[in-house]
């Protein structure tokens, strides 16, 4: 890209709670900020949330606002980190699922990695889509009516999915590209 800050003046939301996969929040956060975006972290409550890193708890991340307080008009995209615990806890919270649906209805990019496609399934967004995910939830993706594609990153309309931390470079590139393109179209 000719512009080293293709996301300048864009805001992106990361939604997570305790048990998020450490790298799947931190790497997109750093890459999106480096691309010029302002990135906020939304969770079920304010304070800190704790990541999962390898076989144990990871680092804390400060929450900027509660999910219930998010105004989607303020954001160009939504990023959903994985980990087993994070999406499993969020998919039973109506405020989290409703926020995902709202981003989709607005046609904004939604990026989900690892186990986070569980959230897309819960929001009713998987059916008829081409998606990828962590291998252990492949059957869940297929049973939700999606076509499972075993690739590092899959983009279908406004939905971006990725498999695992190894795919983070491609995942982040796809988010940056989608937000930069949506900005040009707007």
21: closest CA among 84, 103, 90, 96? Answer: 84
From 31, 91, 108, 115, active-site residue: 115
The DSSP secondary structure of 137-174, one letter per residue, reads GHHHHHHTTPEE--SSEEEETTEEEE-SGGGHHHHHHH
Give residue limits of the domains in the chain: 11-185
Per residue in 13-51, pLDDT (tens digit) is 999 999 999 999 999 999 999 999 999 999 999 999 999
CA dist., res. 120 & res. 139, Å (int): 14
Active site residue 52: no
CA dist., res. 13 & res. 38, Å (int): 9
Instruction: Look at the domain 11-185 and name its fold.
Output: Rossmann fold (3.40.50)
13: closest CA among 23, 2, 28, 3? Answer: 28
Prediction pTM value: 0.97
Give residue for tokens 């109506």.
94
Determine whether 25 is exposed, middle or buried from the number of CB atoms within 10 Å of its CB (0-12, 13-18, 19+). buried
Per residue in 80-137, pLDDT (tens digit) is 999 999 999 999 999 999 999 999 999 999 999 999 999 999 999 999 999 999 999 9
């Amino acid at each position: 890209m000719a512009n080293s800050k293709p996301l300048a003046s864009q805001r992106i939301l990361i939604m997570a709670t305790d048990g998020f996969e450490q790298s799947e929040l931190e790497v997109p956060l750093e890459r999106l900020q480096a691309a010029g975006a302002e990135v906020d972290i939304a969770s079920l409550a304010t304070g800190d949330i704790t990541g999962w890193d390898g076989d144990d708890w990871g680092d804390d991340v400060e929450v900027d606002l509660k999910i219930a307080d998010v105004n989607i008009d303020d954001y160009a995209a939504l990023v959903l980190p994985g980990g087993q615990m994070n999406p499993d806890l969020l998919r039973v919270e109506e405020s989290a699922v409703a926020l995902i649906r709202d981003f989709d209805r607005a046609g904004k990019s939604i990026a989900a990695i690892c186990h986070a496609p569980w959230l897309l399934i819960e929001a009713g967004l998987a059916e008829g889509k081409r998606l990828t995910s962590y291998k252990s939830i492949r059957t869940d993706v297929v049973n939700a009516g999606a076509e499972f594609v075993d690739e590092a990153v899959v983009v279908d309309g406004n939905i971006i999915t990725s498999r695992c931390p190894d795919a983070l470079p491609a995942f982040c590139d796809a988010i940056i590209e989608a937000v930069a393109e949506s900005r040009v179209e707007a």
